[in-house]
Amino acid sequence: MTCCPSLTLRSFTAIITIVDIVVFIITLTYGIQPNSDFLTPKYETLDDFGSRIVCKILKQYQLWRFLTPVFLHGNFLHIVFNIMSQLIIGSQVENMMGIPRFILVYFLSGIGGNVLGVLISDSSAVGASTAIVGLLGVFIAYVIVNWNRLDPSIKCFMLCMISFIILINLAFGLGGSTDQKESRIDNVGHLGGLLTGVFAGMFLINPLGGAPGLYEKRAKITGVCMTCFFFILCLALAFTVKNPKC
């Protein structure tokens, strides 16, 4: 990881941040929600643009709603906190993994967070925070994959710092919800994004110091298996067992 990662328009982190801002401005042009937080798009607009609405996903099979919430934000503070976190965390992960793998883990985490959210919660939600927390999970995967190659003090420091940041994010939230016209923290989505980021990171991160050994190969295989298991289990339960209140 570099200490001072470059951030240019060739960076996917910069591009996705610009997309988030543009989409937010577009949703505001359709009207601002009265009696709500500063610069809150209308709930109907967020619905039309693809917010996570459990009934429409499970009953009407609008599967794109697993992804589209990543590009939507509930109010001004919501998008400000998200893009700040995205630029800080995303630039580090992108420099560590490279753009193609970063894109894959970003969207897998975003979708994974919404998949778990649909399974466990009936709340509708928007925000890039499922993907952002997934990027934090990549740092955990980095430690796991390089467990035998990192100095113990570095492992301890990284795990403590990552755990602290994750706990802060889970406590205060990076994202928002539009359920029942109120702003709420989507902690279930955050958890799903975090798990997906860890699992996907385990098979997308290259180990330090050259060719992978037996441990690193097993870690990658475990990551692939856990990612597939997570998505298959959550989707199967959501579409067969869950009966949302519509």
Kindly tell me the sign of the dihedral angle through the C-alpha atoms of 141, 144, 146, 152: positive
> Does the active-site annotation cover 190?
yes
CA distance 215 to 217: 5
Check if the beta carbon of residue 178 is closer than 8 Å to that of residue 126: yes
Strand ranges (E), 137-237: 176-177
Catalytic annotation, pick one of 51, 129, 177, 183: 129
Give me the residue label for tokens 């985490």.
109
Q: How far is CA 15 from CA 69, 97, 186, in A?
A: 17, 17, 24
> Does the active-site annotation cover 153?
no
CA distance 210 to 188: 37
CA dihedral in degrees (100, 196, 200, 46; nearest 10)?
-10
CA dihedral in degrees (155, 160, 164, 169; nearest 10)?
20
Backbone angles phi, psi at 234, to 5 degrees: -65, -45
Tell me the β-bridge partners of 43. none
Check if the beta carbon of residue 201 is closer than 8 Å to that of residue 136: no
Catalytic annotation, pick one of 78, 85, 91, 190: 190
Q: Which residues are catalytic?
A: 129, 190
